[in-house]
A and B are shown apart, each in its own frame.
Chain A
Amino acid sequence: MLFPTKILSFATMILFCGLIYYSFTAAKKGKEMPKIRRIPALEAIDEAIGRATELGAPVHFSPGRGGLVDEESGQMLASFQFLSYIARQTAKYKTQLITTICDAMVFPVAQEVVRQAYIAEGAPERFTPETVRFLSNDQMAYCTAVLGIFQREKPAANFMIGAWYAETMLIAEGAAVIGAMQVGGTARLFQLPYLVVSCDYCLLGEEVFAGGAYLGKDPVQLGSLAGQDLCKLICCGIIVVGVVTRLLGWTYFHDIIGKLGK
């Protein structure tokens, strides 16, 4: 019944999901979880919102160009955690939030995330059609529209956390030109260097997925992070075993992993 070439992937998925499930169940039951290391980019979120509030300027957030039904959906879901947090903070400080959306299917979800955040902070009246804006499905049209918003409305803080493509540099530099404080983040390798050089703070890879736990201190998310660390330890172990056996000239381990992984 199982595709023979996917046995290793399936077994890995079951093992990792089992570990993550065990960890967040333990966290829910009150088991003490390891502390999360300080992540400067996440701490900079409040600083950037504070700066925008002091200047009386808007805050811009974009979840990137990923979708809800593609390989970047994980990043999109992680991005909603940031959007929810930033919307709550901006509602609390009465700062204007501009959320720009590139994917039509993401648009109603983003609207709901922001609306619920405003309701939770007791400021539903602050949610207007201008708060979450669908700009375009087209990459460069979206990019142009965001640059136009930067020039017209001059946001003091720019958050771009999610899956980014060729527009990364254009948007990040557009925000730098108007002097906005920037926090970027992506798990897409090819765009990471651009965010690193153009943003004040940058979330690298898995830090994008750790944001919810860090900002919300939710036990399920903290437990999930602990489970992820266990999975990473296993990966490190496999890499070390692979390197050592290869150096010793034993090819059995390498061959079996290669065969199952194809």
Chain B
Amino acid sequence: MRREVPSIILAFVGLLMIAETFLNIPAVASLSRDVKNWGIIIGGFALALGSANLARFHIVRIARKNKEWYNSVALLACMAAFALAGVTIGPKAASYAFYYNNFLAPMNTTLQGMTVFFVGSAAYRAFTVRNAEAAILLLTAVIVILSSIPLGEQLWSRIPAISKWIQDVPNLSGQRGIIITSAVGSMAIGLRVLLGLERSHFGGE
């Protein structure tokens, strides 16, 4: 029963969502909307569960004085401060927005900006010519990079055209192949879930 009941609920919800997508029946659309709202409510509980796990994990770290335990103190303090501010003054208050825009947003942007350096280091490792595939990767990358800078066209006027062909023909066809096969794979896994044959998300095989 522990797995059968969730499987039945899952199949019902799955079929309802499929029906909503393809059938023009107001009752189905209305029920589907309700179910999605229940999902949002469940999501709220899940977030509380996740936050509790996070808090417990870091409290234990502080109690055990694990490596860099002071970071856990900072995390718990920030978590408590933001939760308290959210509950008392609300997330739309100017002071709340001030902390969000001046602490979290710049830190996010900084981290995203670091991606460029990581792309450089990964490219350096990946573009080592070890075999024919790596050589093709290197060659196409050089052409596409050169086409993006003025120097490329100065070196050889046909570089932009070759780059465009690489992106429009082999690259795009490969991408479409991946999209089609992934969609079929996704459909197969969805069908197995609807039929109760896919149980890995219940912890089964």
Binding site for B on A (CB under 8 A): 1-3, 6, 9-10, 13, 16-17, 20-21, 24, 69, 74-75, 77-78, 80-81, 83-84, 101, 104-105, 107-109, 112-117, 119, 129-130, 132-141, 143-144, 148, 152, 166, 169-170, 172-174, 176, 187, 189, 192, 194, 196-198, 204-206, 208-210, 212, 216, 218, 220-221, 224-225, 227-228, 231-232, 235
Q: Which of B84-92, B146-154, B157-165, B193-201 contacts A (4 or more CB under 8 A)?
A: B193-201
Q: Which residue of A lies closest to B178 (CB)?
A: A205
Binding site for A on B (CB under 8 A): 18, 21-25, 36, 39, 42-43, 46-47, 49-51, 53-54, 56-57, 60, 67-68, 71, 104, 107-108, 111-112, 114-115, 118-119, 121-123, 125-126, 175, 177-182, 184-193, 195, 197-198, 200-205
Contact A133 B57 (CB under 8 A): yes
Residues A107 and B42 in contact in the complex (CB < 8 Å), given A16-B184, A140-B112, A173-B121: no
Residues A77 and B180 in contact in the complex (CB < 8 Å), given A2-B22, A169-B122, A176-B125: no
Bound: A166/B119 CA distance, A = 12
Residues A197 and B125 in contact in the complex (CB < 8 Å), given A205-B182, A208-B185: yes
Contact A197 B188 (CB under 8 A): no
Bound: A235/B121 CA distance, A = 38
Contact B122 A17 (CB under 8 A): no
Report chain A residues within 8 Å CB of B200: 77, 80-81, 83-84, 113, 212
Bound: A245/B57 CA distance, A = 62
Bound: A220/B189 CA distance, A = 11
Report chain A residues within 8 Å CB of B204: 84, 116
Beyond A138-B108, A232-B181, 9 additional pairs, beta carbon < 8 A: A21-B195, A77-B193, A105-B42, A109-B201, A138-B104, A140-B111, A172-B118, A205-B182, A218-B205
Contact B67 A116 (CB under 8 A): no
16 contacts between A and B (CB under 8 A): A74-B186, A84-B200, A104-B43, A116-B203, A119-B203, A129-B57, A129-B60, A140-B112, A141-B108, A174-B118, A187-B178, A187-B186, A197-B123, A209-B189, A224-B188, A235-B180
- Tell me, rounded to whole Å, the shortest Cβ–Cβ distance linking A64 to chain B: 14
Bound: A232/B177 CA distance, A = 9
Bound: A80/B204 CA distance, A = 10
Report chain A residues within 8 Å CB of B177: 205
Contact A228 B185 (CB under 8 A): yes
Report chain A residues within 8 Å CB of B18: 13
- Contact check: which of B126, B192, B202 meets A196 at CB < 8 Å? B126
Q: Which residue of A lies closest to B201 (CB)?
A: A80
Contact B205 A84 (CB under 8 A): yes
Contact A173 B122 (CB under 8 A): yes
Report chain B residues within 8 Å CB of A21: 191, 195
- Tell me, rounded to whole Å, the shortest Cβ–Cβ distance linking B79 to chain A: 10
Report chain A residues within 8 Å CB of B185: 74, 78, 187, 205-206, 208-210, 228
Contact A137 B47 (CB under 8 A): yes
Bound: A61/B18 CA distance, A = 31
Contact B187 A16 (CB under 8 A): yes
Report chain A residues within 8 Å CB of B189: 74, 77-78, 209
